[in-house]
Amino acid sequence: MTASFIPEHPVVTAYTKMPEAFAQAEAISEFLKERGIPAPCGSLYDEELRNRVKRNEFDMLIAVGGDGSVLRAGHLCAPCGVPILGVNLGRLGFLIQIDRKEWREYFEKLFNGEAWIENRMMLRAEHIRAGEKLGSSNALNEAVVARGQNLRPVRLTASVDGRRLTSYVADGLIASTATGSTAYALAAGGPILPPELRNILLVPIAPHLSVDRAVVLSEGSSVSIVIKSENSVLSVDGQPPTPLMEDDHVDVTAADVTAQFVRFGDPGYFYRNITAHMNENSLGFPR
């Protein structure tokens, strides 16, 4: 846990496809203005607002929505070191500590100096073909190499720090952060990792007669996934997939940027949050 955190120039954002998120965001903005803290309010996709975040005009971004909104905020805020405070309008909120009914209480705590900053590792996924880098993306949750529209499993090999680990015949392979261990990796049968860990988690998806266990790599390790069949795609944090060809590489390492989150109470909040949500059905919860 770091020293207490009190923002001076926050911005409030809402998810475009959730009308109730805008109403809640405007209420938060007004709440802050009444306390003498100007807090612009807008869409997470507004280009001018995003540019202002990138120019470090704000020292905290409030994301109103679900876990997906916080993921998008993480991609925007991590490169410029802006902490994120989520207000949950979704059903689960693994990434979010504050519920829609509690934000006034938590904002009072925030400006009383009761908040702290939690740092979470992100991944860097690079798509390489014939030695040429075709693209790269940061991930807060995971990078996934998986089958495309064809229902046949894909064939992959994974190497860790340049040494071959194993081969997979599966629907895909997830390279996840500790944060992502409660997302797709959890659904695929992987373990839950504490959020402060800086390890990469490998989880196969529906493996067929191949390694069916998750592997937690040592901190600082990198993994190279080589595609050994056609019909493969790469998706990072659920973004639209990138087609892959046979012999393409997807190299995954710890990113050089870190996602920062505003938290309250002791670090045990994570386990309390997990316990509260483990038996809930995620179908239909807003992203």
Taking the C-alpha atoms of residue 83 and residue 60, their distance in angstroms, rounded to an integer, is: 5
Other CB atoms within 10 A of residue 90 CB: 25
Contact 96, 21 (CB under 8 A): no
Contact 32, 10 (CB under 8 A): yes
Residue of 46, 59, 67, 251 with catalytic role: 67
Taking the C-alpha atoms of residue 251 and residue 127, their distance in angstroms, rounded to an integer, is: 7
Tokens of 238: 């659920």
Q: Of the candidates 19, 179, 180, 15, which has an alpha carbon nearest to the alpha carbon of residue 86?
A: 15
Task: Give the CA distances from residue 249 to residues 115, 132, 255, in Å, rounded to whole numbers and listed in that order.
Answer: 41, 10, 17
Contact 97, 62 (CB under 8 A): no
Find the helix or strand (DSSP H, E) in which 50 lies: helix 47-54
Taking the C-alpha atoms of residue 204 and residue 168, their distance in angstroms, rounded to an integer, is: 8
67 is a catalytic site residue: yes
Q: Are strands 223-227 and 154-160 parallel, antiparallel or unpaired?
A: antiparallel
User: Where in the sequence numbering do the catalytic residues fall?
Assistant: 67
